[in-house]
Structures are given as C-alpha cells and as structure tokens.
Amino acid sequence: MAKQDTLDSINEQILKLKEKKKALQEKQEREIGKYLLDTWNTSSLTLQDIFNLIDSNKPKQINDKSDSSNTLNTSSDV
C-alpha cells in the first residue's frame, strides 16, 4: 500500500508541476503580447491589423522552420 501511496503522490506532484508550467507559459505569452502591443503602439489598430503587422515582420528563421540550418547570427566573424 505504501508503494501505491508513493506513486499517487508522485503523480499528484507531476500534475501540479504541469499546471504550474502551463500557468507560467500563459503568463509569459501575456507579457510578451503586452510588450509587443505597447512597443508598436497598436492601440488604434484592429486585431486583424495587429496580426498582419506581426506576420509581416516575422524574422525569416521563424517563418522557415523547415530549414534548421538557419541561425540568428550569420556573421562570419563570431
């Protein structure tokens, strides 16, 4: 019975950690979104205009996930 209690306790801890991770990810997304909206001063734009603005300014590395050889720093002197 003690082994089952231990397993149940571990499973409960895993569930709590997954919930905490999800909450932290959601917080990060909100903070990034707020920063982006504030930085680009988008208060007068519609939601669709904001999405279009974001899409039109994506770095190539994010758009082209199929080419994993792309790097953010392409300078040869690094």
Q: Rounded to an integer, what distance in angstroms lies between the CA atom of residue 53 and that of residue 47?
A: 10
Which residue type occupies 11?
N
Radius of gyration of the chain, Cα coordinates, nearest whole angstrom: 21
Sign for the pseudo-dihedral over CA of 71, 72, 77, 78: negative
pLDDT band at 4 (very low <50, low <70, confident <90, very high): confident
At 16-75, the pLDDT tens digits run 999 999 999 999 999 999 999 999 999 899 999 999 998 998 887 765 555 544 444 444
- Which residue did the predictor score with more confidence, 5 or 64? 5
Taking CA 15 as the corner, what is the angle to CA 9 and CA 17, rounded to the nearest 5 degrees?
Answer: 105
